[in-house]
């Protein structure tokens, strides 16, 4: 394990993004096709619907040291599965509330990004990365050392 003290400049957030197959994953594809550059801070995990994302996945990611977790789905009304994203909204907001007690709520974000919003995808990643930079590293990582 690296024991050097990392300067804030050297540190870059590590974000896990759960993207639904139909809208947000395709939006990320479009960001790529359009060459909208964004920081290499995010890794995308494809699920069929944002409603598949269980709080346990988010907790596991944060416990393992993710600096941020993004859950991205179709806009309300556009869900491929009618209203899966409404379920996701309830679930993620509840998870956020629970995380608030640990001061981790800002590390979880829910966004609606459609298949045509490549630019928006890149903007969301840039914005979330900046927010996480302000928050600093996931304190779990310090404990683990």
Partner 1 sequence: MSDIKGTENKSAIPKDDEEKRVGVFVCECGVNIGGVVNTKAVADYIGTLPGVKVTSVNKFTCSDSGQADIQAKIKEHNLNRVVVAACSPKTHEPTFRACIEEMGLNQYFLEFVNIRDHCSWIHMWEKEKATEKAKDLVRMGVERSKLLEPLQASEVPVTDKALVIGAGVAGMQSALDLADMGFHVYLVEKEPSIGGRMARFDKVFPTNDCSICILGPKMVEVARNKNIHIMSYSEVKAVDGYVGNFNVKIEHKPRYLDVAKCTGCAKCSEVCPVEVPYDFNEGLGTRKAIYVPFPQAVPLRALIDMDNCISCKACAKACESKAINYDMEPSYTDVNVGVIIGAVGFKTYDPEPRHDFGYGLYDNIITAMEFERLLNAAGPTGGHVVRPSDCKEPIRVGFVNCVGSRDKNTNIYCSGVCCMYTIKNAQLLKEKRPETDHTIMYIDIRTPFRGYEESYNRSRNLGVKFLRGRPVEVTEDPVTKNIKVRVEDTLTQEMRNLEFDLMVLATGIVPNEGIGQIQQLLKLSKAADGLLMEAHPKLKPVDTTIDGVFLAGCASGPKDIPYAVSQGSACAGRATIMLKNKKAITEGITAVVNPDVCVGCEVCISMCPFQAIRMDEQAVKANVVKALCKGCGTCVAACPTGALEQSHFKNNQILAQVKNVFKFQEVAA
Question: Residues in the site for partner 1, rule: CB under 8 A?
Answer: 1-2, 12, 14, 16, 21-23, 25-26, 28-29, 31-33, 35-40, 43-49, 51-54, 56-57, 60-61, 64-66, 77-84, 87, 91, 114-117, 122, 141
Nearest distance in Å: CB 26, partner 1: 6
C-beta of 55 vs 105, nearer to partner 1: 55
Residues 112, 21, 135, 105, CA torsion sign:
positive
Tally Cβ neighbours within 10 Å of residue 8. 8
Residue 23 vs 110, nearer CB to partner 1: 23
**What are the two backbone dihedrals, phi and then psi, of residue 20, each rounded to the nearest 5 degrees?**
-75, 145
Cβ-based nearer residue to partner 1, 39 or 105: 39
CA dihedral 46, 68, 53, 116 (to 10 degrees): -50
Q: Name the DSSP class of 52.
A: G
Residue 134 CB, nearest approach to partner 1 (Å): 21
Min. distance of Cβ 130 from partner 1 in angstroms? 16
Least distance in Å: CB of 103 to partner 1? 20
Of 55, 46, 60, 51, which Cα lies nearest the Cα of 17? 46
């Amino acid at each position: 394990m690296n024991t050097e003290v990392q300067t804030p400049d050297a540190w870059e957030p590590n974000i896990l993004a759960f993207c639904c197959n139909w809208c947000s994953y395709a939006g990320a594809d479009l960001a790529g096709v359009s060459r909208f550059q964004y920081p290499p801070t995010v890794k995308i995990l494809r699920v069929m619907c944002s409603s598949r994302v269980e709080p346990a996945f988010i907790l596991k990611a944060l416990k393992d040291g993710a600096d941020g977790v993004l859950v991205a789905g179709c806009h309300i009304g556009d869900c491929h599965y009618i209203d899966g994203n409404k379920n996701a909204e309830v679930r993620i907001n509840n998870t956020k509330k629970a995380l608030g007690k640990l001061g981790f709520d800002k590390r979880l974000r829910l966004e609606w990004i459609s298949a045509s919003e490549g630019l928006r995808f890149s903007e969301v990643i840039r914005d979330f990365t900046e927010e996480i930079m302000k928050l600093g590293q996931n304190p779990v990582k310090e404990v683990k050392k």
